[in-house]
Copies of this chain bind each other. A is one copy, B any other.
Amino acid sequence: MSPKELLEKYKSGEISLTEALEQFPDRGIEEMGFATIDTDRFSRTGLPEVIYASGKTVEQVSLIAERMYQKGIDVLATRATPEMFEAVKKRIPGAHYNKLAQTITYKQSHTPNTKGYIAIVAAGTSDLPVAEEAMETAQFLGNRVEKVYDVGVAGIHRLFHRLELIRNARVIIVVAGMEGALASVVGGLVDKPVIGVPTSIGYGANFEGLSALLSMLNSCASGVSVVNIDNGFGAACQASLINKL
């Protein structure tokens, strides 16, 4: 059936939407059997296909990374173990590993960084793995980043001291565990969008990050939105979309 016939039959009701959709050519797909790489993602969503390594075998991660590398796609793998990095490195010698962030990166393209920057504000040193995941992702996506670490509300003057740097960002990522109050406090002091990342850091009743998650979702400061627990990657993705507006 020619494309023209296809859409005309759909319009006339001869074929249904699902029948029309299943005739679509397979552009933007790289088939690997156990994986189906979405090569079209960047042009469609402004964010490239990324390898979420958790739950995948070492072999799967390194094979997907290699295929992307061969296709000329920049590689970012999150939640990657040192063992995975070793396997990837054999296939992509220039790959880089951030141990704290658990990220593997390899960039072939050379896009200049944005002029405006993303501020990444972290409440405590224990939150750094998540903050660093956000930082690696944001830089991978071509954003300038400024880091403001260990400025939780227990010593709020530490935050005030860096407030200028935070306020001048185009978008702010706040990473905090425990009660996650930092997101609300920052949200009440700036006129830029704040993206909260709750972390799973804290004593028992933080329930693996639930306390900070609920806290940030209930922020009394109104310009705050939230991503998944420990999801520095997701926060950086949205921050990048905003920063590039």
Which B residues are CB-close (under 8 A) to A213? 204-205, 217
> Looking at the complex, which of A65-73, A82-90, A106-114, A192-200 is the stretch in contact with chain B?
A192-200
A94 part of interface (Cβ distance < 8 Å)? no
Q: Could you say how many copies of this chain the assembly holds?
A: 8
Which B residues are CB-close (under 8 A) to A214? 179, 205-207, 210-211, 214-215
Which B residues are CB-close (under 8 A) to A25? 7, 10-11
A92 part of interface (Cβ distance < 8 Å)? no
Known contacts A44-B191, A220-B181; is-contact A18 B163 (Cβ 8 Å): yes
User: A243 → chain B, closest Cβ, in Å?
Assistant: 8
User: A113 → chain B, closest Cβ, in Å?
Assistant: 17
State in angstroms the CA–CA spacing of A73 and B218 once bound together. Answer: 25
Interface residues of A in 4-41 (CB under 8 A from B): 4-8, 10-11, 13, 16-18, 20-22, 24-29, 32-36, 38, 40-41
Residues of A within 8 A of B (CB-CB), count: 128
State in angstroms the CA–CA spacing of A219 and B205 once bound together. Answer: 11
State in angstroms the CA–CA spacing of A37 and B112 once bound together. Answer: 35
A120 part of interface (Cβ distance < 8 Å)? no
Which B residues are CB-close (under 8 A) to A242? 171, 193, 242, 245
Which B residues are CB-close (under 8 A) to A144? none
Inter-subunit contact A125/B64 (CB<8 Å):
yes
Inter-subunit contact B54/A201 (CB<8 Å):
yes
A123 part of interface (Cβ distance < 8 Å)? yes
State in angstroms the CA–CA spacing of A217 and B238 once bound together. Answer: 13
Which B residues are CB-close (under 8 A) to A179? 179-181, 183-184, 214-220
13 contacts between A and B (CB under 8 A): A17-B44, A17-B156, A17-B189, A18-B167, A22-B160, A47-B223, A55-B126, A55-B177, A152-B220, A171-B242, A180-B218, A192-B241, A202-B218
